[in-house]
């Protein structure tokens, strides 16, 4: 309520936002391999609606890294029209590098957003051995960690190796 990041004049439909681990424990700090879920509790005295939740995860410098919502992500709005509830976005194991992240939240229906709060919540990703090599990737090498498959397609051993 009264969040400084709320769009001026917007109805205050969102009552709380929380980040939860994969085992549904509320937390604001996660390891690099831990599952992350964002829950938004809402309530309205207006006409019931089919909720659409949008999230934008941003770096600590405000740069958007990931944005999605169930309006355009293929699931569409929920089939039930409600006046209150909790909308959850289960992100799975998010491959973010260690650091602090802020989240913008958008709540609306299939046509528009009613309530928008920038920097609604903050969470941290803690350093961990993401690749299982016993080494941490150096800082400053991007916002995401990705499991890739590496191949040497054409190479001849040097004379020294033969």
Q: How far apart are CA 108 and CA 113, in angstroms?
A: 4
pTM, to two decimals: 0.84
Q: How far apart are CA 12 and CA 29, in angstroms?
A: 27
26-67: pLDDT as tens digits? 999 998 888 999 999 999 998 999 999 999 999 989 999 999
Given a cut of 60, is residue 112 above it in pLDDT? yes
- pLDDT score for 20: 93
Burial of residue 128, with CB atoms counted within 10 A of its CB: 0-12 exposed, 13-18 middle, 19 or more buried: middle
HEC string for 30-73: EECCCEEEEEEEEECCCCCECCEEEEEEECCCCCEEEEEECCCC
Q: How far apart are CA 57 and CA 91, in angstroms?
A: 11
Which residues touch 23 (CB under 8 Å, ≥6 apart)?
none
- pLDDT score for 162: 63
pLDDT bucket at 160, cuts 50 / 70 / 90: confident
Q: How far apart are CA 49 and CA 82, in angstroms?
A: 5
Given a cut of 90, is residue 23 above it in pLDDT? no
pLDDT bucket at 161, cuts 50 / 70 / 90: low
Q: How far apart are the first and last CA of the chain?
A: 70
Q: How many CA atoms lie within 13 A of 133 on its CB side?
A: 6
Q: How far apart are CA 124 and CA 87, in angstroms?
A: 22
β strands within 94-155, DSSP E: 99-108, 113-126
Q: How far apart are CA 95 and CA 98, in angstroms?
A: 9
Q: Which of 5-9, 44-48, 98-102, 125-129 has the lowest mean pLDDT?
A: 5-9
Given a cut of 70, is residue 113 above it in pLDDT? yes
83-109: pLDDT as tens digits? 999 999 999 988 898 999 999 999 999
């Amino acid at each position: 309520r009264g969040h400084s990041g709320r769009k001026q004049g917007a109805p205050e439909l969102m009552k709380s936002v929380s980040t939860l681990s994969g085992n549904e424990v509320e937390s604001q700090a996660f390891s690099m391999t831990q599952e992350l879920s964002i829950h938004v509790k809402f309530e309205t005295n207006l006409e019931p609606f089919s909720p659409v939740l949008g999230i934008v995860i941003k770096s600590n410098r405000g740069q958007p890294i990931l944005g999605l919502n169930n309006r355009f992500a293929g699931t569409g709005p929920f089939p039930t029209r409600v006046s209150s509830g909790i909308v959850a976005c289960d992100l799975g194991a998010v491959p973010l590098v260690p650091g602090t992240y802020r989240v913008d939240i958008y709540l609306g229906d299939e046509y528009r957003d009613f309530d928008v709060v920038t920097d609604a919540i903050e969470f941290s990703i803690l350093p961990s051995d993401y690749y299982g090599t016993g080494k941490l990737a150096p800082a400053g090498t991007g916002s995401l960690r990705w499991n890739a498959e590496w191949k040497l397609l054409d190479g001849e051993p040097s004379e020294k190796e033969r």
